[in-house]
Structure 1
């Protein structure tokens, strides 16, 4: 699976869609304030939405709060259109080319016989975010259930990373955190890990049930109509917490948290270059898709 082209519309300074063809190496060249960074930021946003969908399709309905750290309608929807389109949507259309093997997998999964690339549209405003396959004169994706399976298939095939060339300490640490989180997430398909997680859930719930029982009587003194109290840890939050909050300690004779190392940025840069999942710089973005050569999208200057 590889990204063949994409276009952005109604995002910051971009109000008209222009298709951008991509290859193994793609370089964006232009004057300052021409929209290169906005194009990349829109692409990052679209890939973030696809990543959330790949982890849990239902979670996308509840992730708008998380995405607000990446997308703020008042800032990111074109100001010139906000008055006339108070619920306007920013969208990114991505055109993916599957391999022959992936075409066969999609056919086995959905019965759809693909004859061309797969267009995916990611749309977002201040209320919702969604992923869809826009109609292009074909009935192949008219079945909603099959279309959702194809979207999920594509989302699970895409691996996208963006690293600015100029990084604060927080940015550098975030690179490491994301890499660790992504690798830990692979355990969620491991039977032993799932069994252990279920055991933890059960043990925690026993304690929470006991606390809930103790709360009933005091509450009934003030609210006689109270019949029951339940305490739960939200499933999605528990799942995410299991792969976050890690600590990286560097031992060069004295074990020290990575935050306190004076050469933090150098170490992070080297770490990312040596990682099997490739990362890029600045307006450099590398996209690794399953069993394909990494694609790179770049700014005005870029080296392989």
Structure 2
């Protein structure tokens, strides 16, 4: 049995033909069975099991399935999906899909109001799919277990009303595009359906359709009784008008008006992914239920920049909804939660325990220690990348060892504006990334952009501050007594702690002002660069902690993030 926990952003990683797509399909199939079960007549659904021809009610509720669409959530086909080597056995066991839904306090109250049952937060469901039957079970232990099972239909309805999913297969076809468009249209229609006028209009349409079908039913019963006198009655059920698809076809004019169905696979794939982006935004705006997005090989047919853009979209979406990806592209690795990367290989799936196991699974070849780090800390300047670890080694005993072995690497980006290009490169190595910025306008602006556009999670972006100082940069966090002798010797002047005391100026401005007052000759920018290098040299040589006590809150927070417990 394969078991894994679904995080906000879960990535199924592994080589081709190891089962990643099957895991996605299993989850989508399970969600679809639950939704279909909720739409069954209550007298049929109460037993928790359908067999024989009634099984088609589970896999035929969706009108798209009835059209034979091969690309939506495929129904379970025992002859195709059950292992061939075991089909001849006399005692074949059913295929099981188990899902556990975790309910918050509000959902537990809603669950009790809707089903009459008390719940502790976990709602375990088991679906059993055999050659001739499909069943749904509620795996609650104790004397109340039978009550849960007797209310399987209500429980399925409860889940279906609150959780929806969209499965995007690796091959993005015209039908897949149409399905996503219908999903978008249904979101808009659900808002429209709240109006009394629309409800009345739909009711009238449904009544007219029902009346027409009842006429057909009467005629059919009369005709068929001649041939089958043992049949007492014939009943034809109608589908609600709202269950009908809204989208017919898509015409694209890129110089020549052509149906999307006649475009190449690349165009269809890109069109589908553009719709995913729109659907994600609609779902975030709608936010009436939980939305699970399942995407198989998101990198298919995309160039490098589009892959990175898509990764940003998935990261942003996962902040409010769940996203599950199946991929062998390292860009989509979840760097914030290592165990959210599920390694799928040798017919088994298990959560990753380290970055190195992810790399081994993906077959990433690393050139040197700088590129083989588990954690990369990106800083604005060269001296930042030297000063920060020099401070951290006084508060984290393993700092020196982790730096020497290349487990953790500090990399300068020479300016906040160049961070994004470095981020894209580092994502290809599968490492966890942390960004450290100065406490000035450029740093604040860059931090806001990285977070708002989904480049990094908020907890991975740090602005190191010195209490009571704004703006400030890394040198402002260092005790002047550590470096005064070094810069005084360098420039042949006597620099004092008072030169660096103004809390309203950052260190570079304070140094330049002091250097001018002391008559230091030469280019200001070159002098500042030399002074920063001198400070870095002094910090690295410091025997005790060189940081100001007022700056240690920030350094401690950074240490905790890098060396997570």
> Which consecutive residues of structure 2, in runs of 5 or more, have no partner in the other structure?
46-53, 69-73, 284-290, 299-312, 335-565
What whole-Å deviation, never above 9, does each CA across 1:164-208 have from its counterpart, x for those lacking one? 243233433343344435654777777644543443344445556
Q: How does 1:9-48 map to 2 (within 5 A)?
A: 17-48=1-32
Number of the residue aligned with 2:162 = 157
Shift of 1:235: 1.3
Number of the residue aligned with 1:127 = 132
- Measure the CA separation in 2 of the matches of 1:181 and 1:207: 26
What whole-Å deviation, never above 9, does each CA across 1:212-236 have from its counterpart, x for those lacking one? 888999x69x95999xx99975313
- Measure the CA separation in 1 of the matches of 2:22 and 2:228: 55
Number of the residue aligned with 1:282 = 296
Counterpart of 1:132 in 2: which secondary structure?
strand
- Measure the CA separation in 1 of the matches of 2:5 and 2:111: 24
- Measure the CA separation in 1 of the matches of 2:258 and 2:238: 33
Q: How does 1:202-213 map to 2 (within 5 A)?
A: 202-204=207-209
Q: Do the aligned residues in 2 keep the contact of 1:120 with 1:151 (CA within 8 Å)?
A: no
Shift of 1:129: 2.4
Compute the RMSD of aligned alpha carbons. Answer: 4.3
Shift of 1:112: 2.9
- Measure the CA separation in 2 of the matches of 1:51 and 1:224: 37
- Measure the CA separation in 1 of the matches of 2:227 and 2:174: 53
Q: Do the aligned residues in 1 keep the contact of 2:217 with 2:236 (CA within 8 Å)?
A: no
Shift of 1:76: 0.6
Q: Do the aligned residues in 1 keep the contact of 2:172 with 2:268 (CA within 8 Å)?
A: no
- Measure the CA separation in 1 of the matches of 2:41 and 2:219: 37
Counterpart of 1:129 in 2: which secondary structure?
strand
From 324, 338, 344, the equivalent of 1:297 is 324
> Residues 35 and 45 (structure 1 numbering): CA distance in 2 closer, same or farther, change over 3 Å?
same
- Measure the CA separation in 2 of the matches of 1:32 and 1:224: 55
- Measure the CA separation in 2 of the matches of 1:245 and 1:231: 32
Q: How does 1:132-211 map to 2 (within 5 A)?
A: 132-135=137-140, 137-143=141-147, 144-180=149-185, 184=189, 192-204=197-209
Shift of 1:43: 1.3
- Measure the CA separation in 2 of the matches of 1:151 and 1:212: 31
- Measure the CA separation in 1 of the matches of 2:109 and 2:16: 44
Shift of 1:42: 1.3
> Residues 110 and 200 (structure 1 numbering): CA distance in 2 closer, same or farther, change over 3 Å?
closer
- Measure the CA separation in 2 of the matches of 1:106 and 1:214: 44
Number of the residue aligned with 1:63 = 57
- Measure the CA separation in 2 of the matches of 1:211 and 1:75: 37
Q: Say whether residues 1:273 and 2:277 are aligned partners.
A: yes
> Residues 273 and 209 (structure 1 numbering): CA distance in 2 closer, same or farther, change over 3 Å?
closer
Higher helix share: 2
Deviates more, 1:49-58 or 1:23-32: 49-58
Q: Which protein has the larger Cα radius of gyration, Structure 1 or Structure 2?
A: 2
What whole-Å deviation, never above 9, does each CA across 1:120-160 have from its counterpart, x for those lacking one? 1122234332322124x323332144454233212321111
> Residues 181 and 128 (structure 1 numbering): CA distance in 2 closer, same or farther, change over 3 Å?
farther
Across the two proteins, how many residue pairs are aligned to each other?
278
Deviates more, 1:262-271 or 1:243-252: 243-252
> Residues 192 and 230 (structure 1 numbering): CA distance in 2 closer, same or farther, change over 3 Å?
farther
> Residues 234 and 34 (structure 1 numbering): CA distance in 2 closer, same or farther, change over 3 Å?
same
User: Greater RCO between the two (CA within 8 Å, min separation 6)?
Assistant: 1
Shift of 1:101: 0.6
Q: TM-score when scaled to structure 1?
A: 0.69
Q: TM-score when scaled to structure 2?
A: 0.41
Q: Do the aligned residues in 1 keep the contact of 2:250 with 2:260 (CA within 8 Å)?
A: yes
